[in-house]
Structure 1
Amino acid sequence: MSTSSPHILVTEPIPQAVVSYLQNTGEVTVAQKGAYQSEEQLLQDLPKYDALLCMLSTPVTEKVLNKAKNLKIVANFAVGYDNIDVKAANKLGIKVANTPNVLTEACGDYAMGLLLALSRKFKEAEQYLRDGKFTGWEPLGFLGMELRGRTLGIIGMGRIGQAFAQRARAFGMNIIYHNRSPIDPKKEKALDAEYFNDHKELARRSDVLSLNCPLTEETHHLVDRELLKIMPQHALLINISRGAVIDEAVLAEALHDEIIGGAALDVFEEEPKVHPKLLSAPNTLLLPHIASATHKTREAIGMLAAEAITSVLQGKPDDEIPNLISR
Structure 2
Amino acid sequence: MPSERLSVVVTRRLPEPVENRLKDLFDVTLRDDDTPMTRAELIAAAQNCDVLVPTLTDQIDAGFIGQAGPRLKLIANYGAGVDHIDIHTARQRGVLVSNTPGVVTEDTADMAMALILGVTRRIPEGLGAMKSGDWPGWSPTAFLGGRIGGRRLGIIGMGRIGKALAQRAAAFGMQIHYHNRRRLRPEIEQQYNATYWEDLDQMVARMDVISVNCPSTPATFHLMNARRLKLMKPTAVIVNTSRGEVVDENALTRMLSAGELAGAGLDVYEYGTETNTALRDLPNVVTLPHMGSATVEGRLEMGEKVIINIKTFADGHRPPDQVVPGLL
Q: TM-score, normalised by structure 2?
A: 0.94
CA deviation string 1:142-179 (max 9, x = no partner): 01111111000000000100000110001111011000
Structure 1 counterpart SS, 2:230: helix
2:30 corresponds in structure 1 to 30
Determine the C-alpha separation between the residues in 1 that align with 2:225 and 2:40: 33
Alignment partner of 1:48: what SS?
Answer: coil
Give yes or no for contact 2:105–2:160 (8 Å, CA) kept in 1.
yes
Structure 1 counterpart of 2:285: 284
Q: 1:17 aligns to what?
A: 17
SS at match of 1:24: helix
**Distance (whole Å) between structure 2 residues aligned to residue 14 and residue 43 of structure 1:** 20
Matches of 1:41 and 1:277, distance apart in 2: 34
Counterpart residue number, 1:258: 259
Counterpart CA distance in 2 for 1:135 and 1:275 is: 31
List per-residue Cα deviations over 1:92-150 (Å, max 9, x = no partner).
11110111111111111111111111110010011112222223211001011111110
| Equivalent in the alignment of 1:313 | 314
Taking the aligned partners of 1:134 and 1:276, their CA distance within structure 2 comes to 25
- 8 Å Cα contact 1:97/1:324 also seen in 2: yes
Matches within 5 A, 1:290-301: 290-301=291-302
Q: Report the Cα distance in structure 2 between the residues aligned to 1:21 and 1:66, rounded to whole angstroms.
A: 30
- The one-letter code matched in structure 2 to 1:106 is D
**Structure 1: 5+ residue runs without aligned partners?**
none
1:144 is matched with 145
**Corresponding letter in the other structure for 1:104:** T
Q: Report % sequence identity.
A: 37
**Could you report, residue by residue, the CA deviation over 1:229-262 in whole angstroms, capped at 9, with x for unpaired residues?**
1000011100000010011111111110011100
Counterpart amino acid of residue 87 in structure 2: V
Displacement of 1:277: 1.9
User: What do residues 163-196 of structure 1 show as CA deviations (whole Å, max 9, x unaligned)?
Assistant: 0011000111101100001112222101110000
In the other structure, the counterpart of 2:226 is 225
Q: How does 1:91-106 map to 2 (within 5 A)?
A: 91-106=92-107
Return structure 1 stretches of 4+ with deviation > 4 angstroms: none
Q: Report 1:202-217 matches (<5 A).
A: 202-217=203-218
Which one-letter code corresponds to 1:39 in the other structure? R
Contact 2:36 2:58 in 1 (8 A): no
Structure 1 distance, partners of 2:131, 2:63, is 50
Q: Deviations over 1:257-306 (max 9, x none)?
A: 01110001001122111022212223001101111111111100111012
Q: Is the counterpart of residue 57 in structure 1 residue 62 in structure 2?
A: no
Partner of 2:5: 5
Instruction: Tell me the SS of whatever aligns to 1:115.
Output: helix
* Cα distance between partner residues in 2 of 1:25 and 1:63: 30
Map of 1:128 onto structure 2: 129
Contact between 1:39 and 1:61, CA under 8 Å: does it hold in 2? no
Structure 2 gaps, min length 5: none
1:170-249 matches, cutoff 5 A:
170-249=171-250
Equivalents in 1 of 2:198, 2:92: separation in Å? 35
Shift, 1:11, TM fit: 1.0
CA contact (8 A) 1:53 1:306 kept: no
Indicate if the aligned counterparts of 2:36 and 2:57 stay in contact, CA closer than 8 A.
no
CA separation in 2, counterparts of 1:63 and 1:34?
A: 22
Q: CA deviation at 1:33?
A: 2.1
Contact 1:22 1:310 survives alignment (8 Å): no
Shift, 1:314, TM fit: 2.8
* Partner residue, 2:80: 79
* Residues 7, 49 of structure 1: 8 Å contact kept: yes
Cα distance in 1 between the residues matched to 2:61 and 2:102 = 25
AA paired with 2:26?
G
- Whether contact under 8 Å (1:249, 1:277) holds in the other structure is no
Counterpart contact for 2:9–2:45, Cα < 8 Å: no
Partner letter of residue 149 of structure 1? Answer: G
| Correspondence for 1:271 | 272
